[in-house]
Chain A
Amino acid sequence: SQQGEEDPQALSIQEGENATMNCSYKTSINNLQWYRQNSGRGLVHLILIRSNEREKHSGRLRVTLDTSKKSSSLLITASRAADTASYFCATDFTSGNTPLVFGKGTRLSVIA
């Protein structure tokens, strides 16, 4: 079963606009991460936020985490056509080596 649920399932925006994707999860986590997957390719890690962090930035990416609501958001600013991909959140539950639990993903289309 899948832990996270991304929202929306699909998002279409114009180049230059910001894209916001949300993720909700069910149980307590250790870390939450966001990944990108281009069609036919493997997963690329974007950013990791720990359970004791509330916000993190990396380049054009901004991630927030609200553990009280069991939710996270990924904001991509000034989107580019190359950002077109599926975006997944993934959680792990304990420190040390645990498998990642992924959501179903948000399909982002950035139109040039």
Chain B
Amino acid sequence: GAGVSQSPRYKVAKRGQDVALRCDPISGHVSLFWYQQALGQGPEFLTYFQNEAQLDKSGLPSDRFFAERPEGSVSTLKIQRTQQEDSAVYLCASSLSPGGTGAGGLAGGGSNTDTQYFGPGTRLTVL
């Protein structure tokens, strides 16, 4: 079936512009996570939704970052007045249940309804 999709895959913005990144989770998945991955680093948590409720936004780096999931499905991450340090890959993940502990399970190693499935990411470059 269809996995998590994200759009656009690549975005170039001039410093000061606003951008909106979209995530389409797997249909029926309750939980949705946003992560930010800087070049050469591991992903870092930004925010988390359970259905339409944003339960944790502790990872958002500044008030220029805003995320929403108004109907409990598609989510949008908005960054206002982009800065060069915002350049990164933004990853979205979804999980079926309110309990999310991992992703994918290609090797079948312990995946369950809590599994987080990741999208391909949006690479944002701020000039």
Contact = CB atoms under 8 A, between A and B. Distances in A.
The 5 A-B pairs at the shortest CB distance, nearest first, are namely: A47-B109, A45-B104, A48-B110, A102-B42, A99-B45
Given A97-B55, A100-B103, 9 more contacts: A2-B42, A31-B102, A33-B101, A44-B104, A46-B109, A49-B109, A92-B102, A99-B33, A104-B42
A96 B98 contact: yes
Instruction: Report, as a range, how many residues of chain B touch the other chain.
Output: 35 or more
A101 B116 CA distance: 13
A26 to B, nearest CB: 14
Interface residues of A, number: 35
A30 B101 CA distance: 9
Contacts of B43: 43, 88, 100, 102
Task: With a 10 A CB-CB cut-off, give which of B35, B42, B50 has the most chain A CB atoms.
Answer: B42
Given A35-B103, A43-B118, A103-B42, A97 B95 contact: yes
A90 B41 CA distance: 13
